[in-house]
Amino acid sequence: MTNWTIESAAKFLLDAENERTNVAPITDTWEDLDVAQGYLIQDELIRRRVQAGEHVTGVKLGLTSKAKQERMGIDSPLTAVLTDAMRIAADSSAPYDKLIHPRVEPEIVFIMEKDLRGPDVDIEGALAAVATVHAGFEIIDSRFADFRFLLPDVVADNASSSYFLFSEEGVKPADIDLVSELVIVKVDGQEVDRATGSAVQGHPAAALALAANSLHAQGKFIPAGSIVLTGGLTDAVAMDDASRYTAEFTTLGSIEIAPGRA
């Protein structure tokens, strides 16, 4: 496509998602697309989802860990928007047949007790606004073929968001050492990767602070009650419809996507 606009790019990505097809990166043909315009496309995409009946329920960070940055070849974190339609209950199924080429990644999830506004939010300030911490799994499903994209593309594509789930039982921030919290990722009971909370920006609350500060630059904040995904702790694992994926956290407990349900 040529003669791109913010609107046509948002529609292009939503159509790819709805038609379950993958597409070429927008930057292949909109070569000077920048990150700020990527966020305008993301905003338009969310505006259309809200117009279709979805509700914004939170924020996610992407590319906050070295493992993710190295795999995707992008060393800059980004933010994206979560809606109620993306949430899967911890004990129900993921619509595998709606997905293009899903990957799963373990994440530390915060539920916010208070509004969190940048600028200048630090780890302590971020933690003071958190109600509970949860074990999470995100299912990412880039609309771009082979997950090949540049930063403006992945920003526009709402950071490959498709679905996420998190444990119902939460832990209070004071009752967990977030930096050393360990997660072991297993496929059919076999370990495939592991990481600690330090993987995301040195501290999951540093990732949360980063979200608040970056959103401030866009004139936004994180409202009380929001769900915040702090970013994949390990590289993502390709997901099929037959295997069982488990993220076993030390303090936060385990979360699983079981065969036939994903």
Binding at 68: pick from ligand OOG, Mg ion, none (beta carbon under 5-8 Å per type):
ligand OOG
> By CB under 6 A, what part of segment 119-148 binds ligand OOG?
138, 140, 142, 147
Q: Measured at CB, which residue is nearest to ligand OOG? A: 62
In DSSP terms, 98 is beta-bridged to none
Please select the residue that binds ligand OOG; options are 99, 108, 154, 262, rule is CB under 6 A: 154
State the binding string over 162-201 for ligand OOG (x if CB under 6 A, else -): ----------------------------------------
Radius of gyration of the chain (CA): 17
Q: Would you count residue 68 as binding ligand OOG (CB under 6 A)?
A: yes
CB nearer to ligand OOG: give 160 or 201. 160
Q: Which residues contact 93 (CB under 8 A, 6 or more apart)?
A: 260, 261, 262
| Two tokens, residue 245 | 């994926």
Sheet holding 253-257, edge to edge: 190-196, 182-187, 245-249, 253-257
Look up tokens 């860990």; give the residue.
65
Candidates 110-118, 153-161, 177-185, 205-213; binding stretch for ligand OOG (CB under 6 A): 153-161
Candidates 49-57, 62-70, 183-191, 204-212; binding stretch for ligand OOG (CB under 6 A): 62-70
Binding at 72: pick from ligand OOG, Mg ion, none (beta carbon under 5-8 Å per type):
ligand OOG
d(CA 48, CA 8): 12
Q: Helix H segments across the chain? A: 6-19, 35-51, 66-72, 123-128, 151-156, 204-217
CB nearer to ligand OOG: give 12 or 163. 163
Regarding beta strands 56-62 and 227-229, do their DSSP bridges make them parallel or antiparallel, or are they unpaired? parallel
At its nearest, how many Å lie between ligand OOG and the CB of residue 242? 23
CB nearer to ligand OOG: give 75 or 120. 75
Q: Would you count residue 159 as binding ligand OOG (CB under 6 A)?
A: yes
Please select the residue that binds ligand OOG; options are 163, 231, 245, 248, rule is CB under 6 A: 231
In DSSP terms, 238 is beta-bridged to 103
With contact defined as beta carbons under 8 Å apart, do 255 and 247 qualify?
A: yes
With contact defined as beta carbons under 8 Å apart, do 189 and 246 qualify?
A: yes
Residues in contact with ligand OOG by the rule CB under 6 A: 62-63, 68, 72, 105, 138, 140, 142, 147, 154, 159-160, 231-232
